[in-house]
Amino acid sequence: MPETFRLDFTVNGQARSLDTHPMARLLDVLREGLGLTGTKEGCGEGECGACSVLLDGRVVNSCLIPAVQAQGAEVVTVEGLAAGGGLSPMQDAFLAHNAAQCGFCTPGMLIAAEDLVRRCPAPDKEQVREGLAGNLCRCTGYSKIVDAVQAVARKEGQP
Amino acid sequence: MRSFLPDFQVRVPATLPEALDLLAAEPGAWTPLAGGTDLMVLFNAGRLQARRFLDLSRLFELRGVQDEPGRLTLGALTTFSELREQRVVHQCFPNLVKSARATGALAIQNRGTLGGNIVNASPAADTPPALLAYGAEVELTSPAGARWIPYADFHQGYKRMDLGPAELLTRIRLPKPEGMGYHFYRKVGTRQAQAISKVCLAAYARLEGRVLADLRIGLGAVAPVPARATGTEALLRGRALDALPFEAARDALQADIAPIDDIRASAHFRRVVAGNVLVQMLKELAAVRA
């Protein structure tokens, strides 16, 4: 029995509304329903973190969120990090430290890093590693990503 | 292959009585859905048997932490992150904090719930050994009322539970340890984050001077269910910390566990490592300055 519902939520500060199935993945709602393709699908089972978004201010795997649980929620995707057309300090730091190679994990890394520095403004290396432990990168070896996050934490990442 | 959306139905009850009535009206028809971190994995892989879901995430009755003298009561929807953020959990139940921290990574901890971790009934789940070591009880609620049972009696066999088709696991209750206590938690996995346990051991010991007055050991990933090491506990209870029988305890543990070979580890590996972790714990205990 097909059944859809009207999903009303906030995405990157804007009220959005669309008809979708309650079990549709938030990942697909964002990518296919709203055209926000910055959020990536890697493993599709909550292991790799490529689909990370902020849901009500906390990092989550959007591949594991049924649309019904996003009702009324506030979602931030990688597209929402850059305010007013410029890059966010975290995005600038990733550029400055060459913290991306193929770039596939980068949106999820940026979201997890953003979540971390909001909770913990001056993380040490261990805290950065734990904050990013759910995000896999197969290119960089992580060191440059950790450097970029710590640079933002030290306020060096700002232009 | 991905699941076909139109095959699925979801109800979102606004209150606990509404949820219980739906369950009771068609026993077994509705599968409760909480944080979704286990169910959605199967759903995404097209391997989810259930087709009709009861989304519990709006039930405020299943949220919250009640801190009273002598005990702590946790709503079934308490997330792993909430466990990590509660001062009282850090103070009284450090193993529970460690187990929450060992579950998945942050994005999972922000969604996954304690009740879901219990009812998903994976023998390798990370919080059950800690709950067993602390002598937790669980509340099971149906339209007929609520009953509390020791968590140690909840799992009856692989994915079999003392949970009726019209019942929901609603709360978890833990007696606060009193006196001089020792807490131990160790998960052995491939890496710290995201890995599923090969072996997990949690223990809580009450000390009277240099005597092991009481001891509870909870185990994960070494039996069809999260299990207490009752034989090992009996061997060690009442012993002096200066005369703990390491090797006899290692042997006793072998009779308490029934590990299997699977993709994560062999049964042999699990037996050896479970024994090693137990002896590590006993050596730590022996070094306690009481």
Q: Mean pLDDT across the stretch A33-46?
A: 97
- Cβ contacts (< 8 Å) between B81 and chain A: which residues? 58
d(CA A133, CA A117): 14
- Answer whether B114's CB lies under 8 Å from B97's CB: no
Residue B290: predicted pLDDT: 60
- B119 φ, ψ to 5°? -75, -25
Contact at CB, A134 and B33, closer than 8 angstroms: no
> In angstroms, what CA-CA distances link A71 with A79, B179, B276?
20, 46, 48
Residues in chain A whose beta carbon is closer than 8 A to a beta carbon of chain B? Answer: 1-3, 21-25, 44-47, 49, 52, 55, 58-61, 63-66, 68-69, 71, 112, 115, 130-131, 133-135
Helices and strands, number each (H, E), in chain A = 5, 5
- B36, B40, B104 ranked by CB distance to A134: nearest: B104
Is a pLDDT exceeding 50 seen at residue A105? yes
Q: Is B190 on the interface with A (CB under 8 A)?
A: no
The H or E element that residue A27 is part of is helix A26-28
- Answer whether A112's CB lies under 8 Å from A131's CB: yes
Q: Is B55 on the interface with A (CB under 8 A)?
A: yes
Alpha carbon A56 to its chain's center: 12
Alpha carbon A85 to its chain's center: 18
Contact at CB, A44 and B53, closer than 8 angstroms: no
Per-residue pLDDT tens digits for B19-73: 999 999 999 999 999 999 999 999 999 998 899 999 999 999 999 999 999 999 9
Residue A84: predicted pLDDT: 80
Contact at CB, B107 and A63, closer than 8 angstroms: no
Q: Are strands B145-150 and A5-11 parallel, antiparallel or unpaired?
A: unpaired
> Is the backbone of residue B104 left (phi > 0), alpha (psi -120 to 50) or beta?
left
For A137-159, b/e burial (b = at least 16 CB within 10 A) is: beebebebbbbbbbbbbeeebee
Q: Mean pLDDT across the stretch B198-205?
A: 97
Encoding tokens for residue B106?
């942050």
Nearest to A132 by CA among A122, A143, A121, B153: A143
d(CA B219, CA B203): 9
Per-residue pLDDT tens digits for A46-92: 999 999 999 999 999 999 999 999 999 999 999 999 978 799 999 99
Contact at CB, B104 and A25, closer than 8 angstroms: no
Residues 6+ away with beta carbon under 8 Å from B268: none
Residues 6+ away with beta carbon under 8 Å from B251: none
Residues 6+ away with beta carbon under 8 Å from B167: B23, B140, B141, B142
d(CA B277, CA B220): 12
Is a pLDDT exceeding 80 seen at residue B1? no
Q: What percent of chain A has pLDDT over 70?
A: 96
Cα-Cα end-to-end distance for chain B: 58
Nearest to B173 by CA among B201, B135, B213: B135
Per-residue pLDDT tens digits for B111-126: 999 999 999 999 999 9
> In angstroms, what CA-CA distances link B136 with A17, A33, B72, B170?
43, 44, 10, 13
- How far off is chain B from A158, nearest CA to CA, in Å? 26
Question: pTM of the full predicted structure?
Answer: 0.96
Is a pLDDT exceeding 60 seen at residue B217? yes
- Chain B interface mutation, best of A6, A31, A58, A69, highest count of B Cβ atoms under 10 Å: A69
d(CA B64, CA B171): 10
> In angstroms, what CA-CA distances link A44 with A62, B37, B38, B46, B135?
9, 11, 12, 11, 36
- Answer whether B79's CB lies under 8 Å from B110's CB: yes
Is a pLDDT exceeding 90 seen at residue B282? yes
Encoding tokens for residue A110?
């940026």
Is a pLDDT exceeding 70 seen at residue A157? no
